[in-house]
Amino acid sequence: MMHEKVKSGFITIIGRPNAGKSTFINQVLKQKVVIVSDKPQTTRNQIQAIYNADDCQMIFIDTPGIHKPKHELGKVLNKTAFNALKEVDCILFMADASEEFSTGNRYILVQLKGIKTPVILVLNKIDLLKKHQIIEQIETFTKEFPFEEVVPISALTGENVDKLLEVIKNKLPEGPRYYPLDMVTDHPERFIIAELIREKVLHKTREEVPHSVAVIIDQYKKRENSDIIDVYATIVVERPSQKAILIGKGGQMLKEIGTLARLDIENLLGSRIYLELWVKVMENWRNRINVLNQLGYREEPK
């Protein structure tokens, strides 16, 4: 099966934070492999998601949203996103169609100039717009860059997503299936579990906490003679005040985060989970290169 010739290739999705890149990938795969929240810069790693059909295999590279970095972590995220443009078969520039064209969008498009790879404009969130507004946005964006194709979609409702997949398929060369048919991501389960826990922190906390959080899986082990998997994880924050917020009164907040994360992890693994969470303070971790490396936020090799 791996050696059959199909349309296959690598597609980088690039765009501003909150453009809907992760929602799109989950919509395509019909399952959750990438975490989603309404807070910018939710995606921190270059995540490969694999879509299989009878006649094609698409490997999507979901990148961190490009933004003006305020610390070393931000710089690493931007480099990771731009490095993902190299040696791919197609680039999706995804933009939130419900927002005005921004200097942030222009900045990314300037970086794309001179790249020979086909660039498709994906205007997302059209479920929030009327038809004439969509046409106006298409005109605005196409004045800025010579896109090969323009596809308006709603990643949330799935509108026009099948059409976009058809457009992408036509850009891909013939080749092998790079991954087995039952594989949906190249990331190990430990990584996805850590991300699911971080997603629940993002959902449950406000401005002071979200971007100061990282998650380390300390232990991930199946119990002997049991179908239960034990997961022990540490949530890393930058300040004692954030630790207090995450633990909550009488440990209530941490308990809620754990309950929500456990349900998602059980869905992912199809197994019962025992999840135990700790919170640890590592001051200013987002600016400490050695700590960023330890937490897995390394720049991708060039």
pLDDT of residue 291: 67
In single-letter form, the type of residue at position 272 comes to: R
Q: What's the whole-number average pLDDT of the chain?
A: 82
pLDDT of residue 141: 96
Burial class of residue 195 in the structure, from the number of CB atoms within 10 Å of its CB (0-12 exposed, 13-18 middle, 19+ buried): buried
Residue 37 exposure: Cα atoms within 13 Å on the Cβ side = 23
More confident position, 19 or 267: 19
Please, what are the domains in the chain? 6-175 (3.40.50.300), 189-294 (3.30.300.20)
pLDDT of residue 218: 87
What is the per-residue pLDDT across 168-180, written as a single tens digit (0 to 9) for each? 999 999 988 888 8
Q: Is the pTM of this model over 0.85?
A: no
pLDDT of 200 > 60? The answer is yes
What is each CA distance from 135 to 15, 88, 123, 160, in whole angstroms?
20, 29, 10, 15
Q: What is the 3-state secondary structure (H, E, C) of 210-233?
A: HHHCEEEEEEEEECCCCCEEEEEE
Work out the pLDDT band at 156, boundaries 50, 70, 90: very high
pLDDT of residue 7: 94
3-state secondary structure of 185: strand
pLDDT of 224 > 90? The answer is no
